[in-house]
A and B are shown apart, each in its own frame.
Chain A
């Protein structure tokens, strides 16, 4: 392939490598810059000396954030939310995708059920009716509010359903002949056969729950119930100085606002970066999971 290339194509290739390198660097530099600030000394950060490498390396900002009770409380809420939310999401995704993957000839109501779920993708009732419903149910300030309203991730159900439908029919036919029921067929045959897809969807759910912030912000009345991203919204984006205690103001002379914000940004994205290698291995497959045909 590479042998008889025209000079103009060789020139294009060189240009292409340079361009792709430049775009990648442009994508990653903002992250590296803020990471460098988080490890820099307070004075270097406020004097704008930090570029892409820490100046006056220190972990003071991280020590400050990790000793902040509000941060740790919010982290705890987030961890609980992710664990509970992902289990609920995945159990319901599998339980729902399996019947929907049946042949409509054999499961007559299959199409009616499919439309029942699909309509929720087509029509969104809007913020206020959604908020009022959760409020009326008395779920505000409860962890359940954050995990129940999105308990059935319809889009994931469709992806898994399409994957289930591609599994060879012969396997389940022989399972049924051996006396297996639908439950056995689902857990013992379908789930193990689609392990990579289920792993992909699980990772999507983890990322989704971890990154959610707006629900926490409006469904929780007390900041001590905020998950981490909602808490960060109030300290990193919507900087509200009235929330600072005197202890904070004293400490801020040592760990300036900018370095502590940077440290919180990175602590909050750490779990994402930690699961990213796994995500990457699976999501290529997950994205194309029978979603686009033709």
Chain B
């Protein structure tokens, strides 16, 4: 019997060959490229023949004035996003949960989920148009109230908040899905019992509804810690400009400019390696926590 089962696993190995090979080529081979971070890399010489410089790229970065600010910007934007994406979707899901009219509920969901499926190219094109200081409809509205126009995408003070709020616009609706699923899974008899005990609507919300979704909130909050160095490359890249580098330049855009525009491959890889290692610690840590406290298992 045992022999039969072992023979039975041969087709399983065969099925896995293509995926194992492709992941090896595109996810494991680049690991060797990390060596570039310790080299004065010249593409014509390749990874093996470029000059080894040890930690020189890292010390160069520490002394570069923009590096620290970029890290601060990344953390500032990503932490604001992490908090906003816990608070806003939870509140929105709770409000939507009180709606009894099915058609209304469905319409609201249809509208707020839509931006999630559009690329940052499309949404940036729209934002650039509506936020334009001269022709944008937002500034036309401000002017009609007698206010001064604001150059939202070109102003160092406004830029991080525009990034967080426009990301909310794109994703908050989609982020309510798991909370709404958790809300429908709450046992209705709990509400009946609460009513029997004389609990009104507010008490039901605080003593039945909220505790019902707290595990999901805790789980998603934990998993979102993995994004601590992800301020959103796709979004920032398409909305920023040299005028807002001071508050808007993030690690990923910094890596892009160093590597793809300035051809400082060694230095760019060094920043990338720093980001990968720190992110790895946070992602692995968040999964470990979720596994320990919420019994969350990926596989």
Contact = CB atoms under 8 A, between A and B. Distances in A.
Contacts of A116: 20, 23
Interface stretch (A55-63, A194-202, A241-249, A265-273): A265-273
A54 B6 CA distance: 68
A71 B100 CA distance: 46
21 contacts: A24-B108, A27-B111, A28-B114, A95-B16, A96-B19, A128-B265, A130-B30, A136-B46, A148-B26, A183-B11, A214-B233, A218-B260, A229-B119, A229-B121, A232-B121, A237-B238, A261-B129, A292-B178, A292-B216, A293-B295, A293-B296
Interface string A30-61: 11011001000000001010010000000000
A133 to B, nearest CB: 5
Nearest to B256: A127
A152 interface: yes
A128 B280 contact: no
A253 interface: no
Interface string A227-245: 0010011001110000000
Nearest to B272: A126
A20 B5 contact: no
A127 B272 contact: yes
Interface residues of B, number: 95
B185 to A, nearest CB: 10
Given A99-B16, A128-B36, A183-B11, A31 B100 contact: no
Contact of A113 (B16, B47, B100, B275): B16
B208 interface: no
A134 B260 CA distance: 14
A105 B178 CA distance: 32
A73 interface: no
Interface stretch (B64-72, B79-87, B91-99, B242-250): B91-99
Contacts of B297: 293
Contacts of B46: 136
Given A129-B31, A131-B260, A287-B177, 17 more contacts: A23-B112, A24-B107, A27-B115, A27-B173, A33-B129, A106-B5, A122-B287, A128-B269, A129-B32, A137-B25, A148-B26, A158-B298, A162-B299, A181-B11, A229-B119, A233-B121, A293-B296
Contacts of B238: 233, 237-238
Contacts of A130: 26, 30, 33
Contacts of A27: 111-112, 114-115, 169, 173
A107 B11 CA distance: 11
Given A20-B99, A20-B108, A280 B113 contact: yes
B299 A152 contact: no
A182 B15 contact: yes
Interface in A257-287: 258, 261-262, 264-265, 268-269, 272-273, 276, 279-280, 283-284, 287
Interface of A is mostly: helix
A69 interface: no
B203 to A, nearest CB: 12
Interface in B99-127: 99-100, 104, 107-115, 117-122, 124-127
Interface string B217-242: 00100000000000001100110000
Interface in B259-299: 259-260, 265, 268-269, 272-273, 275-276, 279-280, 283-284, 287, 294-299
B30 A294 contact: no
A177 interface: no
A17 B299 contact: no
A120 B215 CA distance: 27
Nearest to B275: A126
A131 B260 CA distance: 9
A146 to B, nearest CB: 12
B125 A232 contact: yes
A19 B23 CA distance: 47
A21 B105 CA distance: 10
A126 B121 contact: no
Contacts of B127: 30
B9 interface: yes
A95 B5 contact: no
Contacts of B25: 133, 137, 148
Most central of B43, B265, B299 by chain A CB within 10 Å: B299
